[in-house]
Amino acid sequence: MEDINERARTKLGTGRVADYIPALAEQDANKFGIAICTNEGEVYAAGDAQEPFSIQSISKVFLLTLSLRVYGNELWERVGLNPSGMPFNSLTQLEAERGKPRNPFINAGAIVVADRLVSAFATPSKHLRDVARKLSGNESILIDARVQESEWQHRSRNAAMAYLMKSFGNIDNDVDQVLHSYFSCCSLAMSCVDLAVALNYLAADGHAQAMGEPFIAPDLARKINSIMFTCGMYDAAGDFAYRVGLPAKSGVGGGIVAIVPGKLSVCAWSPALDENGNSVAAQYALELLAEEMVRQQL
């Protein structure tokens, strides 16, 4: 971890911090952290791995997991399973495809998934926050109110998607309520250590490390990993698959979670992003980790 921390920091200064809301634009581009959680429950970390950051689209993995637990395969009537080949906030396919988003990891797809959770839970954001706390074993995890408020102020594009999908009958609930839930999930603040531990269930056949019990069925963990592999890095999923070869999910806060099924979960974070919205240093760190695992035959 220390070696990767040192080498990944050579990438600091490349890329741009997300600037669509002030709360993210103010992030320090010189931060870098990485944490691993093994399926045996050992945690290894380096750099700024304990510092909470805005998890943004990494929350789409939690949203999807919770929704699949409630709705199972019925969910796929509402959202597809294929890469979009478009930026994560694109609207262009939605009209032609009658309001059914390509996959649950683009914004439109996550908004549909959030609508399903609004139907299933009285307080979906609180439920998701509590699940994040339980899965990570960190009771102090919070939704960052400032990020959440900024997301709301800058909601036009996500609101446009939600209304278009509602016009096709693919959103059941009040659009504002769905957007509030979606934004509060994006605004969860978690550290690399929190995320590596929380998402270890995807590496461990559905068994939640911090809870010490099964969270989802092994088959569901395999399926979520598959969607992460094909759709988790937006338009760059193919590039990332070639470079790293692991299921992963990124967020515009600069975090990326990757899964080594049967072995470990890892989260790397650094705020500066490339043109696809993926952290430059975090991608490089995961590439170094993947190479090292091959070299050491792990």
Q: Any idea which residues carry the catalytic annotation? A: 57, 60, 182, 234, 252
Establish whether 57 is an annotated binding residue: yes
Q: Which residues bind ligand DON (CB under 6 A)?
A: 56-57, 88-89, 107, 151, 158, 186, 250-252, 277
Closest CB to ligand DON among residues 65, 250: 250
Closest CB to ligand DON among residues 44, 152: 152
CB of 277 to ligand DON, least distance (A): 4
- What does the DSSP 8-state code read for residue 279? B
Residues 6 or more apart from 90 whose CB is under 8 A from it?
A: 84, 106, 108
CB of 57 to ligand DON, least distance (A): 3
CB of 156 to ligand DON, least distance (A): 10
Closest CA to 186 of 116, 111, 237: 111
CB of 108 to ligand DON, least distance (A): 10
Establish whether 252 is an annotated binding residue: yes
Establish whether 151 is an annotated binding residue: yes
Closest CB to ligand DON among residues 88, 215: 88
Task: For residue 221, report the phi and psi dihedrals to the nearest 5 degrees.
Answer: -60, -45
Closest CA to 138 of 207, 204, 187, 190: 190
CB 23 within 8 A of CB 187: no
Closest CB to ligand DON among residues 208, 227: 227
Establish whether 234 is an annotated binding residue: yes
Task: Give the separation between CA 215 and CA 229, rounded to whole angstroms.
Answer: 21
Task: Give the separation between CA 95 and CA 99, rounded to whole angstroms.
Answer: 6
Task: For residue 38, report the phi and psi dihedrals to the nearest 5 degrees.
Answer: -80, 165
Establish whether 294 is an annotated binding residue: no
Binding residues for substrate: 57, 107, 151, 158, 182, 234, 252
Binding residues: 57, 107, 151, 158, 182, 234, 252
